[in-house]
Structure formats: structure tokens, C-alpha cells
Amino acid sequence: MTYVPPPFLPRVTSRFLKRYVNLKHRLRLARDREEIFDRCRYFGADFIVRLDDHIGYEMAIRIFEWVQIDRLIKTCERIRPDVFLDIGAHAGLYTCIVGRRRLAQRLIAFEPDRRTLVNLKANLLINNLLDRTELHEAAVGAERGYAMLVQGGDDNRGQSRIEEGHPDAYQVPVVAIDDVARIEGRTLDIKMDVEGFEMETLAGGERLFRRNRGYAQIEAYDGRDEVVIPRMAEFGWRLVDRLDIDFLFEK
């Protein structure tokens, strides 16, 4: 796995922001004895974040997935997608950036974690995107049904995952993309981050991938790329690059 760092200027900006954010974090902990939500701006969109969460903290210092987001923005400007699908939207980072920049006409987001959904809706609201976004409060899989979800830890809420039999899991609805997004002959931009549920998600979106074109960023680690890449090739999507644990496809 090769980490791809951001360019020089964003790295320098992040270093200065890190000092400020760390100081603010320590002062708040000393005052309130617990972290509270903070607000930041990243790639032109506004976000409510927690500084004790890995993703929120890196958003606040403007470094989280900088290279992936920059690549996605430039690709959207090039291909002009009709639809953006955020599969595993978490707190809405990608949806809010795409929506605020008006990079796609239609926004569709999927997120099953009831705790994260509160943050996601808040971020959509403060970016005036709540009414523009088709939000599915469900996991994405091969077919409609239910599954057991384990929430990510407080230090990384982005690691919620489907795991049957876990003592802390709770039931969430599952939808298949092809059942809720009947799209054909369109240009798509897709971000998929489903923490190990990639093949099930692809199985439920076969028609979508086969009958449309565009750009897809799929997170796949622990060797899961070895099955994701051939499956995407079957759908006609070519692997064009890799950024850390994210694999980029075009059709």
C-alpha cells in the first residue's frame, strides 16, 4: 500500500491549521471535559465535525482524503456527471462537496449508521442540500432485506460495518442499488466506501454499472481489490489508478 501525499501547499496549510485545531481541542477538553461539535470548511463546503474523531479532525485541518477529493472534483469537471452516488456516505463529505460545487445534477446518498445519519443530515442542511439529496437510510447489498451493523469506534466513526453475530450489532435495512436507482444511459460519478461489503454492493448494482458510464472511486483493502477489480472489469469499468486504499475506475 502506497500513501499518496497532497501537494506542498495543502500540506503546509494543514500544518498551521493543526496547531490551531489542537489548541482549540485542548481548551475545550479542559473547559467542558468532553469534546463537542465544531464547524469547519473544506473544499468549499461546510461541515460539523468532532475533533476527537479521526475523520472529523483531518477534515478540520483540511487534509482528509485531499488527493482523492481533488481528483474527483477534476474528473467531475471533465465528464460532467448526471448523477453522483455516495455509497457509504458517512457524514456527507463527498456529497456536500459535489453538491456545493454543483458538479452533478442529481445527488443520491446511502448510509445505514443511525448515529452518523444525524451528522450527515446536519451537514446536508447547513449546505442547503437536504432537499436536493435522495437519502437512503440503509446499507447497500445484493438484495433488499436486513443486516446487522456494528458502529465504528468513537475515534473513527467511519468504520461502521456489516457483521452478523457481533454482540454490539443492531439491525439495519438493506437495499439493492438497482431497486432504488433505476438509471440508464447516464454519466455517473460514484464513491463507494462500504467496509468489506463491496461484492454484495456490486451484485445489487449490476444493472447500474453495466448500463451507465463514468467514474468510480471504490475503497478496498485487505486484499479485497483482488475480487473488486475483476468484477468491475466484467461490468466494463477499467482500473485507471490507485490512491492509497481507493481504486479508481472509468468507463
Give CA separation, 85 vs 98, 110, 239, in Å.
10, 8, 18
Supply the pLDDT for residue 217.
98
Q: CA angle, corner 127, sides to 89 and 57, nearest 5?
A: 60
Q: Which residues contact 32 (CB under 8 A, 6 or more apart)?
A: none
Instruction: Return the axis-axis angle of helices 93-100 and 66-79, rounded to nearest 10°.
Output: 40
Rounded Cα distance between 55 and 1, Å, is 20
Give CA separation, 105 vs 72, 162, 166, 192, 228, in Å.
15, 30, 39, 19, 28
The phi and psi torsions of 162 (rounded to 5 degrees) equal -80, 125
Helices and strands in the chain, H and E counts: 9, 13
Picking from 144, 111, 142, 136, the residue whose alpha carbon sits closest to that of residue 204 is 142
| Residue listed under C-alpha cell 483482488 | 226
Supply the pLDDT for residue 59.
96
Partners of residue 166 on adjacent β-strands: none
- Every domain of the chain with CATH number 3.40.50.150 lies at 66-250
Residue 191 C-beta-side C-alpha neighbours within 13 Å? 26
Longest dimension (CA), the chain: 56
Regions of the chain short of the pLDDT cut 70: 1-3
User: What is the fold of 66-250?
Assistant: Rossmann fold (3.40.50)
Supply the pLDDT for residue 29.
84
Supply the pLDDT for residue 88.
97
Supply the pLDDT for residue 2.
58
Cβ atoms 10, 62 nearer than 8 A: yes
Supply the pLDDT for residue 108.
98
Supply the pLDDT for residue 31.
86
Supply the pLDDT for residue 30.
86
14, three cell numbers: 494543514
Q: For residues 165-203, b (16+ Cβ closer than 10 Å) or e, as one string? A: eeeebeebebbbbbeebebeeebbbbbbbbbebbbbbbe
Q: In the sheet where 145-150 sits, what is the strand order?
A: 139-140, 170-175, 145-150, 161-162
